[in-house]
């Protein structure tokens, strides 16, 4: 896997498609490596004529880890956050946005369409707000503005997030734990086949497993606060996609994100949770392609896609 230097870090990356085609940067979510993007999703973007760039966020995959910062106490961090106390993460979402910018610069890409998922959506929002000259369009998927008062994960998801693998030293145990969590937050109307899900999780964990990095990224999200003011500065054409059945980042978060960004369009997908299930890849590709090319239908917002 090739690496590059960005924002003072070693960042693992991958590209697909013709470098002369229109660049599209993918920014993934919490603890998700670049390999977590579905192959059919990346291949579909290439077939649509995009030069696709993926990378491992800091503290994830094969990119620079911040082990020297230690593992944060997330329970204490949540308590401080509820009390309105300031948090001191190892780094912030703004730093991660600079990493994404550094990836584009290292690859000689002046401007790109940017697609961010979950935490990656937050990073993409900051990138679009702070570096408007580098972002052709923004697509924020299953993400949030971070505004106080928005709903958080459902109780059953909070419980799942708090669990740990039965044997943290055993790969099979870690795979079981991860698959169970992904099942909890996944799309109820579009379940990923068990065999395919386990295979993808096992492949990802064999590539890299850094629970400390996951915790530090969670701290960065918790310390991110309300980005509403920044979202109102975004001038790039923006598409917000959110699942109506998202149990981790509820639909209200996507609705609020669209409300905060001037001219943003909200697309709600019925039955979609907090994942990119294979059954929805074609729909997601169509939305991203139409948005990037400025060919979205001028229908009323939001549009609701239901299971066929």
Contact yes or no for 138/130 (Cβ under 8 A): no
Nearest to 107 by CA among 219, 8, 20: 20
Whole-angstrom distance, CA of residue 15 vs CA of residue 18: 9
User: Judging by DSSP bridges, how do beta strands 112-117 and 238-243 pair with one another?
Assistant: unpaired
The domain in which residue 220 lies consists of 3-152+211-305
Cis bond leading into 260, ω under 30°? no
Q: Is residue 98 part of a domain?
A: yes
Cα torsion angle, 128, 93, 50, 8, sign? positive
pLDDT at position 120 is 98
Q: Is residue 262 part of a domain?
A: yes
Whole-angstrom distance, CA of residue 104 vs CA of residue 6: 9
Q: Is residue 186 part of a domain?
A: no
Question: Would you mind telling me the total number of residues written for the chain in this entry?
Answer: 308
Contact yes or no for 300/266 (Cβ under 8 A): no
Residue 17 structure tokens: 């498609």
CB atoms within 10 A of CB 209: 16
Q: Is residue 162 part of a domain?
A: no
Q: Is residue 271 part of a domain?
A: yes
Q: Is residue 176 part of a domain?
A: no
CB atoms within 10 A of CB 295: 8
What is the pTM (predicted TM-score) of this model?
Answer: 0.93
The residues pairing with 303 across neighbouring beta strands, listed in sequence order, are: 267
Nearest to 58 by CA among 115, 117, 4: 4
Residue carrying structure tokens 């090319």: 293
CB atoms within 10 A of CB 293: 13
Q: Is residue 169 part of a domain?
A: no
pLDDT in tens, the chain (308 residues): 899 999 999 999 999 999 999 999 999 999 999 999 999 999 999 999 999 999 999 999 999 999 999 998 877 777 777 667 778 899 999 999 999 999 999 999 999 999 999 999 999 999 999 999 999 999 999 999 999 899 999 999 999 988 889 999 999 999 999 999 999 999 999 999 999 999 999 999 999 999 999 999 999 998 988 999 999 999 999 999 999 999 999 999 999 999 999 999 999 999 999 999 999 999 999 999 999 999 776 654 444 444 43
Count of structural domains, the chain: 1
Q: Is residue 190 part of a domain?
A: no
User: Judging by DSSP bridges, how do beta strands 9-16 and 3-6 pair with one another?
Assistant: antiparallel
CATH number at residue 35: 3.40.50.1820
């Amino acid at each position: 896997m090739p690496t590059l230097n960005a924002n003072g870090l070693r960042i693992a990356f991958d590209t697909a498609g013709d470098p002369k085609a229109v660049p599209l940067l993918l920014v993934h979510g919490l603890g998700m490596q670049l390999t977590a993007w579905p192959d059919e999703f990346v291949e579909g973007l290439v077939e649509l004529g995009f030069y696709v760039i993926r990378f491992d966020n800091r503290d994830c995959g094969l990119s620079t880890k911040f082990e020297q910062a230690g593992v944060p106490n997330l329970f204490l961090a949540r308590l401080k956050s509820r009390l309105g106390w300031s948090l001191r993460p190892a780094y912030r979402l703004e730093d991660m946005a600079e990493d994404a910018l550094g990836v584009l610069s290292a690859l000689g890409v002046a401007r790109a369409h940017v697609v961010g998922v979950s935490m990656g959506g937050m990073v993409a929002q900051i990138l679009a707000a702070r570096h408007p000259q580098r972002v052709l369009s923004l697509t924020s998927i299953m993400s949030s503005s971070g505004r106080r008062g928005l709903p958080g994960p459902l109780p059953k998801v909070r419980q799942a997030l708090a669990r740990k693998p039965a044997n943290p030293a055993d790969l099979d145990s870690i795979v079981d734990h991860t698959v169970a969590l992904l099942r909890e937050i996944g799309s109820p109307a579009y379940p990923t086949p068990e065999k395919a899900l386990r295979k993808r999780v096992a492949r990802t964990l064999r590539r890299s497993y850094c629970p400390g990095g996951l915790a530090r990224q969670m701290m960065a999200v918790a310390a991110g606060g309300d980005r509403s003011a920044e979202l109102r500065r975004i001038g790039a054409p923006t598409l917000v996609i959110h699942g109506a059945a998202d149990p981790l980042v509820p639909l209200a978060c996507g609705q609020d994100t669209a409300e905060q960004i001037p001219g943003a369009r909200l697309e709600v997908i019925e039955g979609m949770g907090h994942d990119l299930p294979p059954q929805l890849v074609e729909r997601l590709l169509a939305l991203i392609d139409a948005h990037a090319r400025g060919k979205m239908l001028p229908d009323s917002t939001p549009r609701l896609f239901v299971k066929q």
